[in-house]
Amino acid sequence: MPTRPIIGIIGNNQSLSEGFNAHVSAHLTSEAVAQAAGCMPIVIPSDPRLVSTRELLDLCDGFLLTGGRPNVHPEEYGEDATPAHGTFDRQRDAVTLPLIRACVERGQPFFGICRGFQEVNVAMGGTLWPEIRELPGRMNHRMPPDGTTEEKFALRHAVRFTEGGPFHRLLGNVEVMTNTLHGQGIKTAGARVVVDGHAPDGTPEAIFINGAPGFTLSVQWHPEWQAAVDPVSRPLFSAFGDAARAWSDARHGVRKSA
């Protein structure tokens, strides 16, 4: 068996120069999986013609649902597409949404980030706002258009968790500071989706699946940024890695020494 649990990182479809298409994932995401979670990252092509839910479940010990510029298509939650919904990736929708539901049922770990956070909500029957900043009283959660990478991922607002909830217990604080680089957000929470953390303007920022037997924490911000050293990011990835190790041990019949 592998020495480290295998984490499937859901890639994004992207056109490169000269018309070449690619399945891509950011270096910092793989680094977070390897360095902060202690697992082996592999990038999963987001194309249902190439991979199946069953194969992915058998191959991987957990899944990281990454961010991405295209949004979940609103038809997935019963709404019509408008210009405000932006661009879409129907192939990724077709891979991730059934995968999330299967993981919830099996107890197989997943960690949702940004678009991945939104995918979890949609997979469980929830809906999304197409543009948070257009709602009365909401701040602009989008990535700053200018500046260095450090400036774009800088801490910009607080997230307050439910006292005694899983995020509070894991992070040891009821409130933390996070970055923010998203345009959409949760409108209605899906079945069993518990919103466990909010931004000051009321935007949902942290969720988990009620009654799920496995790790289902998901966040709207980007904890993969400096995950190995950030005091908020590292515990999230560490807990995700622990859950993947437990799943790997169980499926390989590894017994813990007394």
> Read out DSSP for 22-67?
EEE--HHHHHIIIIIS--EEEEEP--TTT--HHHHHHH-SEEEE--
Question: Is 198 among the residues known to form the active site?
Answer: no
Question: Is 114 among the residues known to form the active site?
Answer: yes
76, 114, 168, 182: the active-site residue:
114
- Residue 249 CA to residue 186 CA, distance in Å, equals 34
In DSSP terms, which residues pair with 197 in a beta bridge?
Answer: 161, 206
76, 131, 205, 224: the active-site residue:
224
141, 168, 182, 222: the active-site residue:
222
Q: For 256, what's the count of Cα atoms within 13 Å in the CB-facing half-sphere?
A: 7
Backbone angles phi, psi at 41, to 5 degrees: -85, 135
Known catalytic residues are 114, 222, 224
